[in-house]
Every structure is written in C-alpha cells, then in structure tokens.
C-alpha cells in the first residue's frame, strides 16, 4: 500500500510537548526553586521566637510570612505562617534580638509587581490556546489513524486503499472457474500494456466493467488479478464508504478518488458493492439526498475522464437489477461480466488451486467436485480448509479424500453432534426414514445415485440424511426428474407411515423442499396443464436467495395451491407404493444402517440388488 510520510501522530507526543511548555510556564511565573523544606507554623509561635531572639531573617509578602530560625535543627527549614494585620510587627522586628552578627533581624517586604498588558495576554490567552491546539491536533490525528488514515477534519478525501503495482501479487493463475470473465478482462490488461496498437485503429479502453454474481464467486479476487496482471496501481473502496452524514461529502469523495486516479494513470479503480450508491433514483420530486448527489457525481466523473489515459473502473454487485440505468449505459460501465457459480470443471479447477496450499495425497477431485454442485469458490476454499483442519485433528500430515468428504458434509449439514443421544425407538425411526429416501430414489429412473446414508445427528438439527450425487453436471432438469425428486423427498414420511403407522417432525425440511419444487413447477417452469406456460411468479434478488412474489389474482393463487398439493400428493402416493412393494428390502437395509450408522452408496446398492 502506498503510504504517506510518517509523522508523530501519537497523543503521547502532544502530551510531552505540553508538559515541556508547562515547565517553561512555571519557570517564568515562579523563578527559582526552593531547596529547603517549608514548615507551616502559626503566627503566635513566630512572635514567640522573635521575642526569644531565635529569628534570623523574615520575608513579608501580602498574605504570607517566611522566616528562618537559628537552631541547629532549623538550618534546613523555612517556616511559613499566614500574615496577620499587626501594626506593631515592624517595631517588634527592630527591637528584637537576633543570632546574626549585628544582632538584628534581617527583614524585607516583597513589592507586588504588575505584569504588562502584553505579558498578561500571552500568559492567560495565547499560551492556553496553543496548548489546547497541540493536544487536540495530536489526539485527532491518532483517532484518524485508528479510523483508517487521514485527518479527522479532512472532509472530502476518498479514503480508498491504494496499492502500488508491486504490492498486488494476485494474478489470473489464482482465479479458477471463471474462464469467460478472465478472457474478457484480459483485453483490458492488454490495453494497459500496449495502448499503442489500439490507438492506431481508434479504439478506446472500456471505461468500466461491472462484475455481477452471487457472493463468493471471486469478484474482488478477479479485480485484484487484473491489477496484478497489468502491473498498475489499484484503488480499492467500498460503495458504502461514499455514503456520508453530511450532504455533499460523498460527492467530494468521488471527485477526490478520480483526481488521484488521474494523477496515477494508468491504474484500476475497484468499487465493491456499488449498489450502495448506484441504486435507481426516485421518480418523485426532491431527489437531492446524499446518495443521489454521490451517484450524480460518479456519473459525471465517468463521463469526464479520458479513456485513453488508462483509468479503468471495475465494480461488483450482487443486485444488478437495483442499479440506475444511467450507470449501465455504454460509455460508463461498457461491459458486464457474469460471475456465475462454477460448473463441474470449474469446481475441479478451483479445488486444484486451493489444494496447492495444503499437503494432500490421492485426492479424488471428481468425487468432491460432483458432491459440491452449487458451491461457490469461497465455499470450496472453506471445504479445503475444513479438510485440512480435520486431518490435523486426526493426527495426519496430509489431507485425504475422506477428509474432504467429511468437510463437504460439515458445510452442508454441520459437524457431527456426538453428544446427541437418541433412544432406540428414535434411532430406528430415523433409520427407516433415511432408508425410505434412498429406496425411493434408487427405484426411480432419472434420479441421482445414492452416495451415502447416515443416521449420525448433525449440528444443523438433522438427525440423519441421505446424500445423492449426480454422475455429471446438470444444466437442464426435466419435468419427470423434478417429479422424481419430490417423490424422493416424500419417501421418508412414507416409510414412517408404512412401517410405524405414524408421522414425526423429522420430515419438516423434506416438506419445505418438496413444496418449493412443486410451486416452481406451476408458477415459473410452466409444467402444469392448468396454466400451461403462464408466468405466475417473479424472482427478485436472484443472486441473494431469490425472493419470489406471485403476480396473479387471489383466485388464481388459490388454484395454484391446489395444483401444488396435487403434485405433492401424487409423489407421496408413488413413494408409498415403492416402499410397500419393497418392504423386505426396507427391513434389511434399515437393520444394516442401524448396525453401521453410516453406509456408502455401494453398500446400499449391493444389498438392494441381492
């Protein structure tokens, strides 16, 4: 990171200066240091000592009186007493004896001196103001350092983290599973390296590129990789840092950011979570709030700088549908990079990148990649790390496929809950429930093979689960496959009903997933005879969970519920029929699962096909 020249910003430095000034202040007002011990006494004792001839010297001030005594024990003492209105004091001192050579007491009176007006002004106004300013400045600088640099009163500074070209070590080799995005961004890198060949034909550098995708897909990572490949300075700032309490401060930060970038061109500006300032402007009147002013300034700056100077703006967001249309038009963010969840080959490549950082042996990447369908790059990195932690707990020096398989299950269903004790009745119910899922899945066509069945409780609340892994990547799912998935989800409840003639709460998650799939078939996928290809539902925030909302009348919504119920009921009847037809295998498989607690897909299929 490019750093400014260091300064003494610690509050201790300011306090030290203040202490020195205070000492000087005392030296001016109280010249001389009393070396002797001052002893308080009363006025009567003073008069008594004067009359006995024991007082050598007296110094009279307006309200105090200092005197020295002649005794051996008094030679290192200065006596202090309060002055009393005594008209005969001078006569007493003149007539009294003294141990001095001339037999007289030496006494004097301090003449009060008035400071000049200039000295009074300096001492009582200028000096305190200087001390206060030094203390405030040192404390404010220290607070600014703790809050991210700069002076507390330096309004309008961008606050962007500036990385020199030598500090960015990330390259495209560190980014996997996003080949299309790397290919598109590689042209920007080439332009920064060889602007001449583009200038010859009249081409200009794209001013901005918008990185769009779910969390954890590597948007920030690939932005750093572009800077690392291009070997140019990298400005990194979050969209929320532009949003300020005072109106106009965000716009000032935008101006300062682009001014710094122009001075250091060619360079790359990266704005993370740009939707914090780039949301659509209100259609109503009075749109002069801080966020809109900041957005307007950003639009103006992107129009104002010359694309030939080599300033590239990269921005990332999870909510592209909320961005203002003016921000997305050509000439501002010219390109839009889709950073989607990686496919099978992409997951393999990401796993390979992260496996380079750990010691491993004989890893079945294909198995792990197939088991992690729908996982982002960040989740895959977490799985590798969890596998390494498990290897350490098990006392091994290398990570194995077994470690990664367990880490996949830990990420999906949570860690094993070893302290959870199930009664024999509950354990038997869970075994038949999970066997019901696996049996229905295995007896259907177009269904993913069973990979693992376990009845070991997990921290997510699952008392057991059945894991299915597709043999290859699936991009399209047919109506028959969706119906089979719903039937598999109802298999656990069907087993409870057939074997125990009861229902338990263990099917709650199955019910939720089955209902979600059936509703999507009716409202979004057009897989229903009643409504054909009519869209009845819209999905918002597709990259952040996908909140859905119905776009139909109340009467239609009621009919949709009936169609969803019909799909789930047909699947439930189908699952019940499969279990009744294979009741003997159900008992055999459940007994084996009760004994082993965890069985593989191969063991399951071997017993099923005997």
For the annotated catalytic residues, the residue numbers are 434
Measured CA to CA, the distance from residue 25 to residue 31 in angstroms comes to 10
Burial of residue 194 (CB within 10 Å: 0-12, 13-18, 19+) is exposed
List the structure tokens of 130: 């200087």
- Residue-level length of the chain: 610
List the structure tokens of 237: 């700032």
Would you report the helix, strand and coil content of the chain in percent, each value rounded to 5?
50, 15, 35
Q: Element (H or E) spanning 345, and its range?
A: helix 344-355
Measured CA to CA, the distance from residue 404 to residue 371 in angstroms comes to 10
DSSP letters, 144-178, are: HHHTTSS-TT-TT----EEE-TTT----GGG--S-
68 Cβ neighbours under 8 A, 6+ residues apart: 55, 56, 57, 74, 77, 78, 79
With H, G, I as helix, E, B as strand and everything else as coil, classify residue 266. coil
- Contact status, residue 60 vs residue 83, Cβ threshold 8 Å: yes
- H and E: helices and strands count for the chain: 22, 16
Measured CA to CA, the distance from residue 115 to residue 117 in angstroms comes to 6
Q: CA nearest 278: which of 235, 311, 322?
A: 322
Q: Element (H or E) spanning 537, and its range?
A: strand 537-540
Separation of CA 456 from chain center: 34
């Amino acid at each position: 990171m490019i750093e400014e020249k260091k300064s003494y910003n610690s509050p201790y430095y300011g306090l030290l200066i203040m202490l020195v000034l205070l000492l000087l202040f005392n030296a001016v007002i109280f010249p001389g240091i009393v070396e002797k011990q001052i002893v308080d006494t009363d006025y009567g004792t003073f008069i008594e000592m004067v009359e006995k001839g024991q007082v050598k010297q007296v110094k009279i001030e307006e309200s105090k009186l200092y005197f020295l005594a002649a005794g051996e024990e008094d030679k290192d003492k200065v006596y202090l007493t309060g002055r009393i209105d005594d008209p005969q004091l001078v006569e007493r001192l003149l007539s009294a004896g003294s141990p001095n050579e001339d037999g007289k007491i030496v006494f004097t009176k301090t003449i009060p001196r008035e400071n000049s007006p200039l000295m009074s002004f300096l001492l009582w106004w200028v000096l305190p103001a200087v001390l206060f300013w030094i203390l405030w400045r040192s404390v404010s600088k220290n607070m600014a350092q703790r809050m991210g640099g700069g002076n507390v009163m330096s309004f309008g500074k961008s606050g962007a983290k500036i990385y020199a070209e030598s500090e960015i070590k990330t390259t495209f080799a560190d980014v996997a599973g996003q080949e299309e995005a790397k290919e598109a961004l590689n042209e920007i890198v080439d332009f920064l390296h060889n602007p001449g060949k583009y200038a010859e034909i009249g081409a200009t550098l794209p001013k901005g590129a918008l990185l769009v995708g779910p969390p954890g897909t590597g948007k920030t990572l690939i932005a750093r990789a572009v800077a690392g490949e291009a070997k140019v300075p990298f400005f990194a700032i979050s969209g929320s840092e532009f949003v300020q309490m005072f109106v106009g401060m965000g716009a000032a930060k935008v101006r300062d950011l682009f001014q710094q970038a122009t001075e250091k061109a060619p360079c790359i500006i990266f704005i993370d979570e740009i939707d914090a300032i780039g949301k659509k402007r209100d259609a109503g009147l009075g749109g002069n709030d801080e966020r809109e002013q900041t957005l307007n300034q950003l639009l103006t700056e992107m129009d104002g700088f010359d694309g030939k100077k080599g300033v590239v703006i990269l921005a990332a967001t999870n909510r592209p549908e909320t961005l203002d249309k003016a921000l997305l038009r050509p000439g501002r963010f010219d390109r839009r990079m889709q950073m989607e969840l990686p496919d099978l080959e992409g997951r393999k490549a990401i796993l390979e990148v992260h496996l380079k950082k750990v010691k491993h042996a004989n890893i079945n990447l294909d198995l792990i990649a197939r088991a992690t369908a729908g996982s982002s790059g960040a989740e895959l990195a977490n799985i590798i790390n969890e596998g390494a932690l498990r290897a350490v707990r098990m006392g091994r020096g290398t990570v194995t496929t077994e470690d990664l398989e367990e880490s996949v299950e830990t990420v999906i269903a949570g860690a094993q809950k070893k302290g959870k004790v199930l009664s024999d009745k509950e354990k038997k119910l869970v075994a038949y429930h999970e066997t019901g899922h696996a049996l229905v899945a295995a007896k259907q066509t177009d269904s993913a093979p069973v990979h693992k069945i376990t009845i070991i409780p997990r921290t997510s609340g699952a008392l057991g689960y059945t894991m299915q892994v597709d043999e290859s990547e699936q991009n399209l799912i047919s109506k028959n496959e969706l119906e089979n998935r719903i039937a598999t989800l109802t298999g656990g409840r069907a087993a409870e009903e057939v074997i125990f003639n009861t229902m338990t709460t263990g099917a709650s998650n199955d019910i939720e997933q089955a209902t979600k799939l059936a509703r999507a078939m009716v409202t979004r996928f057009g897989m229903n005879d009643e409504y054909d290809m009519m869209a009845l539902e819209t999905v918002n925030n597709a990259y952040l969970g996908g909140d859905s909302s119905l776009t139909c009348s109340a009467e239609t919504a009621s009919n949709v519920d009936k169609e969803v119920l019909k799909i789930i009921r047909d699947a439930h009847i189908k699952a019940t029929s499969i279990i009744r037809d294979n009741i003997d295998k159900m008992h055999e498989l459940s007994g084996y699962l009760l004994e082993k607690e965890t069985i593989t897909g191969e063991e399951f299929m071997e017993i099923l096909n005997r």
